[in-house]
A and B are shown apart, each in its own frame.
Chain A
């Protein structure tokens, strides 16, 4: 099984250079059936990464470019009157796809955002009183620009909580940058490559993740983390039960990626910054200021003994 994962890793590493950790987290997200939020500046390769993921998995792919004047129907689809048979016919929107890239999600109005997020949560779309199931597997990769940028509608906490993980890509290091500059454009490389994973395999892996063992000692550790986030007084809001569940599942997927049948604390520690980071804030001090020098996820890991 590990060799299959290595094939995928090799594939993705050829496309997105020097970002092994981020790629690993993306795979983890897929295996745990979670949705991914990539947050970074424009031009960092967010869209490329999403494309590559869709390609390697051999899944149907669609992309929605979010804009400020977007309406929910642009995402979910719309019922159109057809004169030929004198009835309304539902035209499926771009969301009816196995991998959906929601590009620059925070540019859209909250109304459009919520349409996507509801589909993500329920894995189905309701239009005109009719319910349409989304394909399986269903995987949303949303990208967003950092909130300081102009023309953005920040996602509220409740919506952020629905993302399984948030990662940022960051600048490539010097070596990777050089390769990038020297060689052919990555996008063209991607188009030439063939997908290497089947849908069946993904489903099998997702089943496998559920069978990864979590012993009482490990659950104790996760509960300690959750407890710490709620009671230590350092964080704004504690980890929600859904986030706790996501954390465990991410740990399971991480263990599977490392070819292990059980979760160890290091798995949890590896995924925690991505799985919890977007749901955890430091508490405001007396002046209403947040100490932005501290990464809340790292802080949580440091104050919780294994």
Chain B
């Protein structure tokens, strides 16, 4: 291997030793490449970086020795030990990236020849790529693109020893990268791809995702209710449902075990049939954030299950595996529906009150049902009971004792959606009406900038479904009875009410609207946030989320009905040759027309025109200069300087940046005055 390297190696690269500037540039580039990882690396990396850079500094400025092979070996062993101690492994994403970064830093201690420097540049490129294992956000992409430009400049400096101005070098490498973009875009769009996202991530990359829990136990404070994180975004192709219809069905909790609600164990075949009219169908696409959970949230009530999803209990939808990446899914739902049938099994489950305790609440339910006379009236009675007995919506409810339903209904009477959904459902069951709890999201904020809806974790909600013999499952939201603001205006309205010391449900609609009116500044801020969210969403939808489906859709649109691998490669080759030839043409053309020297010289001529000396079209620059000097001997020095520099640039092929700047400077300082 070594001999192979040597044979193919350009001989002088071995001896070439880049200068100090190259080293500093490389250090800077490495720092830039590492910076997205900074917060994730162990703290002692700072010490490592300090030692490495200090040592290197001493090598350059104090003639210190580079570490010998024994020391280097010991260093690597120590490093591996430290990494293993910190991560518990050397495999996987986190430890792997840390190892790559640490070894790249150590490489600085043995930098010597051009080849070593180039190696570090390539390692930096690789480090840049690893950042995408953590995040694929747009800003990160832009930042890392900039870092690649810096790395290109470093490479240019190393290869040519170019003494160009820093900005000029950055500009040149940027334009080189830009030239590559069309080809990259073509490859991105047309390269045959496998199912799945852009990055196949290693197993340890999904820690720390938030999502909805699969159980519910009122009386424990729910953190989800407070997070502003986006849960999912929705693109509607049908009219958008009104605020109080935006119920996003997630899980259906039918089992009650001493205050803990959970899903029933489910047989896949048992999905009850639904009757609905086609005109009620709402079509939309959900872009759901990674949550590590299987739940897929659909507008109540989903119909026509997509092939890649499964039915869960109670017509909830779920993916085959936890969502480790964003899911983009087209769905259909209906607002008006009718369940035809309920199985005995389900009926029994939804009537189960075996673990409800508390004599008082059981007798209360019996009492109220007797007063109501019918199931429907009983529902109204219970909702009225909430309204009329000083129940309050609160985000900091008191804890409940061992009889949670009774404690809530008769004592604390303070809580949020979970308390109401849970207590309401139990009250139904106690009266012999089948009922269950639905967990999901309610509400959603419309983004004007992108024409889609944002549903946040703070929109998380729980409500009830009740089985009525004539109507099937019917959605009842007891929270609406206590705090209609929560349903109409979202959690923010509740928070604001509380902040102003008012009770939810105590204000009229108009007053709430006035209260919710935002200041101009807040409005602008909101607009900016929404705009950024819109840009990011498109980025995920069209770039990160561009998978096999989008590709075949695009190809169909281009007229390839059954595009196979070979067609795509041929198409790719044809398009790439077209793009590259166009670029080549453009480059040659531009060389002819956009000679910056011409622009400067034109300025020079314009200034002379200002004092009445006009260049003939057919006059060469030297002849023109001679004529000017004859007319105005006092201008000899500046005119000769401009003319000579221009001629050097244009006709002597001496087109360095130095010359360009010299010309620009000479022209800038040329201000001829009219002779009196």
Which A residues fall within an 8 A CB radius of B? 213, 215-218, 220, 261-266, 269, 301-306
- B-side interface residues, number (CB < 8 Å): 15
- Bound-state CA distance A264–B619 (Å) is 11
The stretch of B121-129, B361-369, B440-448, B649-657 in contact with A is: B649-657
Which B residues fall within an 8 A CB radius of A? 591-592, 595, 617-623, 647, 650-653
Residues of chain A within 8 A of B653, CB atoms compared = 213, 215, 262
B652 touches A303 (CB 8 A): no
A306 touches B651 (CB 8 A): no
Q: A215-B651, A215-B653, A218-B651 are in contact. Are A265 and B617 (CB under 8 A)?
A: no
19 A-B pairs in the complex with CB atoms less than 8 angstroms apart: A215-B651, A215-B652, A217-B595, A217-B650, A218-B651, A220-B592, A262-B651, A262-B652, A265-B621, A265-B622, A266-B622, A269-B620, A269-B623, A302-B618, A303-B618, A304-B618, A305-B617, A306-B620, A306-B621
- Bound-state CA distance A127–B650 (Å) is 50
13 further A-B pairs in the complex, CB-CB below 8 A; given A215-B651, A217-B651: A215-B653, A216-B591, A217-B595, A217-B650, A261-B652, A262-B652, A262-B653, A265-B620, A303-B618, A305-B618, A306-B617, A306-B619, A306-B620
- Bound-state CA distance A281–B492 (Å) is 90
- Bound-state CA distance A248–B651 (Å) is 14
Residues of chain A within 8 A of B650, CB atoms compared = 215, 217
> Closest approach, in angstroms, between the C-beta of B630 and any C-beta of chain A?
15
> Closest approach, in angstroms, between the C-beta of A25 and any C-beta of chain B?
18
- Bound-state CA distance A157–B27 (Å) is 71
B618 touches A264 (CB 8 A): no
Residues of chain B within 8 A of A269, CB atoms compared = 620, 623
Please, which residue of chain B has its CB at the minimum distance from the CB of A213?
Answer: B653
Please, which residue of chain B has its CB at the minimum distance from the CB of A261?
Answer: B652
> Closest approach, in angstroms, between the C-beta of A211 and any C-beta of chain B?
13
Residues of chain B within 8 A of A263, CB atoms compared = 651
- Bound-state CA distance A216–B649 (Å) is 11
Other-chain residue from B591, B595, B617, B621 in contact with A264 (beta carbon distance below 8 A): B621
> Closest approach, in angstroms, between the C-beta of B599 and any C-beta of chain A?
13
A264 touches B592 (CB 8 A): no
A216 touches B623 (CB 8 A): no
B622 touches A213 (CB 8 A): no
Residues of chain A within 8 A of B651, CB atoms compared = 213, 215, 217-218, 262-265
Residues of chain A within 8 A of B592, CB atoms compared = 216, 220
Residues of chain B within 8 A of A302, CB atoms compared = 618
B652 touches A213 (CB 8 A): yes
Residues of chain A within 8 A of B652, CB atoms compared = 213, 215, 261-262
> Closest approach, in angstroms, between the C-beta of B441 and any C-beta of chain A?
65
> Closest approach, in angstroms, between the C-beta of A257 and any C-beta of chain B?
15
> Closest approach, in angstroms, between the C-beta of B609 and any C-beta of chain A?
16
- Bound-state CA distance A92–B647 (Å) is 50
A-B interface, 10 closest residue pairs, ranked by CB to CB distance from nearest: A265-B620, A305-B617, A266-B620, A262-B652, A266-B622, A217-B650, A264-B651, A215-B653, A306-B620, A215-B651
The listed residue with most B CB atoms (<10 A of its CB), out of A215, A217, A261, A263, is A217
Residues of chain B within 8 A of A216, CB atoms compared = 591-592
- Bound-state CA distance A213–B595 (Å) is 18
A266 touches B623 (CB 8 A): yes
Residues of chain B within 8 A of A261, CB atoms compared = 652
Residues of chain B within 8 A of A218, CB atoms compared = 651
Residues of chain B within 8 A of A266, CB atoms compared = 620-623
- Bound-state CA distance A306–B619 (Å) is 6
- Bound-state CA distance A263–B651 (Å) is 7
- Bound-state CA distance A264–B652 (Å) is 8
Residues of chain A within 8 A of B617, CB atoms compared = 305-306
> Closest approach, in angstroms, between the C-beta of A169 and any C-beta of chain B?
25
Residues of chain B within 8 A of A305, CB atoms compared = 617-618
Please, which residue of chain A has its CB at the minimum distance from the CB of B652?
Answer: A262
- Bound-state CA distance A215–B592 (Å) is 11
- Bound-state CA distance A220–B621 (Å) is 15
- Bound-state CA distance A132–B152 (Å) is 61
Please, which residue of chain B has its CB at the minimum distance from the CB of A265?
Answer: B620
- Bound-state CA distance A216–B595 (Å) is 11
- Bound-state CA distance A112–B57 (Å) is 84
- Bound-state CA distance A218–B621 (Å) is 12
Residues of chain A within 8 A of B623, CB atoms compared = 266, 269
> Closest approach, in angstroms, between the C-beta of B60 and any C-beta of chain A?
40
- Bound-state CA distance A269–B623 (Å) is 10
> Closest approach, in angstroms, between the C-beta of B432 and any C-beta of chain A?
94
> Closest approach, in angstroms, between the C-beta of B465 and any C-beta of chain A?
79
Residues of chain B within 8 A of A301, CB atoms compared = 618
> Closest approach, in angstroms, between the C-beta of A197 and any C-beta of chain B?
28
